[in-house]
Amino acid sequence: MPGLQRTLEERAQGAGLGGVRRVHRQWRSWNARLAGLVGVATVVGAGWLYSSGHWVLCLLVPLLVVVAGLAWAYWAPIATPDGRWRFVVCENGLLLWSERNGELAVIPWDAVEGIEPVGFGGSGRLESRLLFTADDGVPSEVYVPTVGARGDLFSAVRARGPQPVRVVRRVVVSGVVVAVVALSAWVVVVPQVVTATVDGRPDELGGFARACEGAGARFSGAAYYRVDGPRPLVLFDVEENGEVKYDMTSFSTSGAARTSAQEKDAPAPDPGAVQLVACRHPVGRMSESPFKTCTYTGGVTLAYYQGRYRVDVYESRTHRKVGSVEVAGDDSPECPKMARIAKGDERERTTEPTSYETALAPFVTGPRM
């Protein structure tokens, strides 16, 4: 705030305090109980997100809570008649300033008596007061609220003069902040925008799941995408929360499809032969009207909606997107003889595809795309 800084400089010079060396701005204090509740809620929420598979949000939410808390403390209005205070450390004394009433006090260094603790306040911090002698010789005091670099302000008061900025501490704190932000960006942001490169190839088919996580992954040791088929393919389900699950659906070197139901009857492709990785994403429903409703004793109903899915197909070796295809969920499910639906449970289901052979055949046996 250049205008305020200029005003403080002019007033300090006019009061005989000399040049301004540092301004300690008041922060909005957190109530200790409220801060504790927010902290507990954040930890519980992060744990729930982690257990639900939202590991990105598990890291991001606590970081956003901390940033929001600091922003609130720094910018939120101060609910007092004077508004936000500023303790201005000058060459020859202290200037106390409020955003609503302007100058509150001019205190030369030789009038400063010291800092005295007065106990713990509602914010959970040790509160203090500044003791000084007023111009008329009367002992006076002023409460010191939460301000930026509070320890440096107290050091200046005790030394009765401006103190050098603690460069080492600033560098260390800044380094820690930068490291935390960089680590968070590396863990949260980078995987969502940068395709990872994995040396070699997975030893198991489930290892290709990384191709469907975030921005995906390329496997340098995977099989080449060949001109002629059949091309072994493995399919993964990407849940709405970003969690990737092995669908157990694959196409072998013979082009034969294999599903979880055929696990014992159809061979799975060798991991070293996999040329394509397919990622299935839910994109809604084929219709917003249920195509089947099952009714049970007591009038309880269970509605079935036909799911709609997008399957993206990538080269396993380069992660080049070969193409996409839309697949519909099952449109002929049977009503289960018994359905255990507790109070509050969803009474609707979205069906999943039962076969991918027709949709993925062009990628497995068709011409190279």
- Could you read off the pLDDT tens digit of each residue along the chain, which spans 369 residues? 568 888 899 899 998 999 999 999 988 877 667 777 888 888 888 777 766 666 667 777 888 888 888 888 888 888 888 889 999 999 999 999 988 888 888 999 999 998 888 776 655 567 788 899 888 888 998 888 888 888 889 999 999 999 887 777 778 878 887 887 777 666 666 666 667 778 888 888 888 988 888 888 899 999 999 988 888 888 898 887 777 887 667 776 665 666 654 555 567 788 899 999 999 999 888 888 888 888 887 777 888 888 899 999 999 999 999 999 999 888 888 887 877 766 655 678 888 888 888 888 889 888 888
The answer to whether 26 and 149 are in contact (CB under 8 A) is: no
**Cis amide bond preceding 230, omega within 30:** yes
Q: Cα 110 to chain center, whole Å?
A: 50
Q: Distances from the Cα of 135 to the Cαs of 14, 16, 59, 67, 142, in angstroms?
A: 16, 14, 55, 43, 15
**Could you identify the residue written with the tokens 């609503």?**
100
2-180: which CATH architecture? Roll (2.30)
pLDDT of residue 291: 84
- Report the length, in residues, of the chain: 369
Every domain of the chain with CATH number 2.30.29.30 lies at 2-180
